[in-house]
Structure 1
Amino acid sequence: MTIHELYAYLCVRDARAAIDFYTRAFGARELFRLTEPSGRVGHAEMDFGGHTLMLSEEYPELGVRSPEGLGASPVTLHLHVDDADALIARVVAAGGTLNRAPQDHFYGERSGTVRDPFGHRWLIGHAIESVTPEEMQRRYTALFSAASVGQA
């Protein structure tokens, strides 16, 4: 078996508002949408610079709930971009909420976290250095060793 593609498929309460937000915040472009006669959006696809994001509205009768319907989201979408600081500022200006300001991290990335108005969490980052897995582990271990010293 060969996997050809992997798509993020989000559930939102208001697909029209989400499509508008993702267009303004991320510069995404709507490819198409399928709308029921009732007005509920059953499926939409958006182009994020050559990467497809799919979304639909809630279908509680099928167990399909949005973060708003669940009261939380266990999933984070991670975008690698040219300038994390600029995109995070753009997302916040469009109505997103800043959860963690951009900062440099031990794993060679500058990143921060925002939440969109529909409850989805986005980790937005860009590379600042190339770090091997072994070096990442060394830094990770040191980070937690230093944290445990501070708790003593």
Structure 2
Amino acid sequence: MSEVPLPEGSQHIAPYVYYDDPRAATAFLCDVFGFEQTMMLEWPDGEVAHAEVSLNGERILIGYADPDFGLSTPDRLGAQHTVLCVYVEDVDAHCAQATTAGAEIVRQPADQFYGSRAYTVRDCEGMLWEFRQHLREPSHDALTESLAGLARAIGR
């Protein structure tokens, strides 16, 4: 298979996240979650057309949730359709920083059966993010056994 050409600094898969206020969302992601703004393109009227943030070399694309194009936000939908998962070096410190910055922590940091320590947080427009710290690499058998125990506990 041949190498797929990419623009400089790009990755093969990059989530494109839509917000009602992309400028405020970009600031939130940088100030609260520790992302770095790498691009901000504005329309002639000063509104944000496109923004990009990165963390640990991975990019997330940001745009306006224009209802004319069928785009929405979790707050407007009243539902979640995705959770963005990001690995960080120290999930407890990351959660403490997000808490100090006023973020809504949905689930406090806890060790997970799949080998990570994780917490869940809601951003400024309702999008759920899960920040994880990789701790160990469980075997497939251990994952299957843990999942079966979880299924029994929740009645599945």
What is the TM-score when the length of structure 2 is the normalising length?
A: 0.85
Partner of 1:47: 54
Partner of 1:27: 34
Change (3 A) 1:55 1:146: closer
The reply to whether residue 15 of structure 1 matches residue 22 of structure 2 is: yes
Structure 1 portions without partners, runs of 5+:
none
The reply to whether residue 139 of structure 1 matches residue 146 of structure 2 is: yes
- Aligned residues, how many? 148
Indicate if the aligned counterparts of 1:102 and 1:110 stay in contact, CA closer than 8 A. Answer: yes
1:146 Cα deviation after fit: 4.5
The reply to whether residue 123 of structure 1 matches residue 130 of structure 2 is: yes
Residues of 2 paired with 1:57 and 1:103: CA distance? 33
1:82 Cα deviation after fit: 1.4
Aligned counterpart in structure 2 of residue 114 of structure 1, from 121, 124, 129: 121
Partner of 1:63: 70
Indicate if the aligned counterparts of 1:13 and 1:68 stay in contact, CA closer than 8 A. Answer: no
Alignment of 1:76-115 (within 5 A): 76-115=83-122
Please give the root-mean-square deviation of Cα atoms over the aligned residues, in Å.
1.8
1:138 Cα deviation after fit: 0.9
Residues of 2 paired with 1:117 and 1:29: CA distance? 17
What is the TM-score when the length of structure 1 is the normalising length?
A: 0.87
Give CA deviations for 1:48-105 in whole Å, capped at 9, x if unaligned. 1211110011211111212222222211011111111111121222232110111112
Residues of 2 paired with 1:57 and 1:39: CA distance? 13
Residues of 2 paired with 1:84 and 1:55: CA distance? 24
Runs of 4+ in 1 over 3 A off after TM superposition: 1-4
